[in-house]
Structure 1
Amino acid sequence: MPPKADINKAGWEQSEFPILCETCLGDNPFIRMSKQEYGRSCGTCARPFTVFRWNPGAGMRFKTTVVCQTCAKVKNVCQTCLLDLEYGLPTQVRDMALGVVNDAPTSDINREYYAQNMEAKLQSGGGAGIKGAGPTRTQSAGKEMLKQLARTDPYYKRNRPNICSFFVKGECTRGDECPFRHEMPASDQKQNIQKSIQDRYHGRDDAVAQRIMTTHAESQGLKPPDDPTITSLFLPLVPATSTEDSIRASVVKSLSSVDPSEIKSIVHVPQSKCAFVNFKQRSVAEAAAYAWSHGLDVDGEQITVRWGRGRKKPAEAAAAAA
């Protein structure tokens, strides 16, 4: 007679092998893993799950799974690095490029309940997780952008040991026996650059994603202007049939993660076939520039986006007139 199920473990997750990307798995084909059932709580849904720990290669640091398999399947990410399994990019970059909406709760309330519902849908073969929010043309352009940014080969350098904090302070006495790296961090490698698990998973203020999107936007001619007061984006050559309402609908649909109230105004100039999208905050304008670096779909046409120009100060305007 089978043993009775423990009611206290209802909803907890058991698994036989982790969901990992090739980089985190390592280059050793004979890898050995330790397995601990209910070893820790999931970093996103807080449910206990089966934890795996392994060494991805000689001279590398030990790695472990940090989220459960249900959460990994919902977002299609690695259980360890939380990067997308198809493109190897942060979820914030992927979701912004494809215009998808994440309906998973980001607060502690209902996280476990949501995860259990998603697990039931996955087991029954139903769809779960993020939902598309952009038209087909926009998603196709976003996929092309992701293909350009994707890393095609494993990046095993990411598995290296962490930098020795004692060496940075000049106090490490272990020398070659120290299991950590003895090198000075780069100027942009700060302790706070590694965000929490939930921020990486849900794509909120991810520093790595921010750098990727900034670099791509600059390569497309969308480098943020030095003037912080510029909060408008210029849409040249909009379709002749476009109206202010249709442009607003396209903007709101493409910025699914942005509150529509952040849009200050949309100015349509039919005679010049152009439009200006003005935002209330510079940060929102920059997020829109990142999302539209591959173009904005307006009434069936892909529109190239550019930053607007700042207004000249009265003194500068008087000097130019003179």
Structure 2
Amino acid sequence: MSDLPATCNNCLGENPYIEMIQEKDGRECKICTRAFTSFLWYPKIGTSIFRRTDICLTCARARNACQSCLLDLKFEINPDMRDEILGTNKHLMEFSPSTIAANNSKISKIYKANQLERNFQDEDSGNLPRHISPEPKVPQILETAEETVLRLTSSNVSQKALSSTSKSNDRKHLSTKELLKLLNKLPFNGDLTIPDDPDIKSMFLFGITDELSNFRVQEYFKEQFNSTLEATILNHRARCGFVVFESRNSAEAVAESILAGKLPEGPSLIVIDRVPLRVAWGRVCNLGLNNKDQARLAQLVKKQLSILCKNTQIPKSSNKITPTNPVTTTVSNPFAKLTFSGNEL
């Protein structure tokens, strides 16, 4: 196995002289629970924000995923979504990380991971693993599905949202009018008041940074609220995204826990790895068609965060955040809209 981690370009950063700190058996793999050689590095020069590997190289190789953000190395999407799109055969997934993680027994996880590692060693030495047979159709499947996957990754939205916006994704970019329409749909002034529509079980997050991974967001909701997410859709370039819960009851329980008796005046605040995020109920939707659209959206996210920050202060004697100038306007609609003009774009 290689002495270097398997990471994507986004996690490595733009520093051409990157230095990594290697620690043998320094961490426990998030999937198979085995100790593995961990790496830590700083993607940007002159900052204290670092990245590290969260899974072992064996599990990363099985998923063809980044050891840090856990996204596919080529398409930069969730490996489970990739496998569903590509139609990967189930019998090839006997020792996949998803199968390993599904085992409750730690011994079973370690055994499966060891079997997987031996298969890779046999493959590197030229011997085909016993549980895998040649599949001549797989390359053709990958080739025909590549175009579909690339189109999906351009918007970073869930499959349901993508199916309704597949026609618009064929265009180069959104017009100013269309972007304004999209912005007014996003609940920048929304809150965590329980919406009337029982089908809504997703929340809108904004204030996302490059260092915050999908896996860490899922881990946060699991640790803090004992809630499992059905999907995590983060668009780092647009600085916003969505989390979809497995059920409406689970989403309501999380909303009540975040509010904790406070009045739902505007988006609530959560902090994940020292990254403050604003959260409100919201439907999953497309967040721009290309990098330019998403960069324009990120500028407006930054502006809205600045407005919300002015109304919030952190007392010296407490870590709790309280509003200094409470909003006097009553928001009756949980999907209240922040109105933008064309001049701001």
TM-score range, shorter chain: 0.3 to 0.5
TM-score (normalised: structure 1): 0.42
TM-score (normalised: structure 2): 0.40
Tell which structure's C-alpha radius of gyration is larger: 1
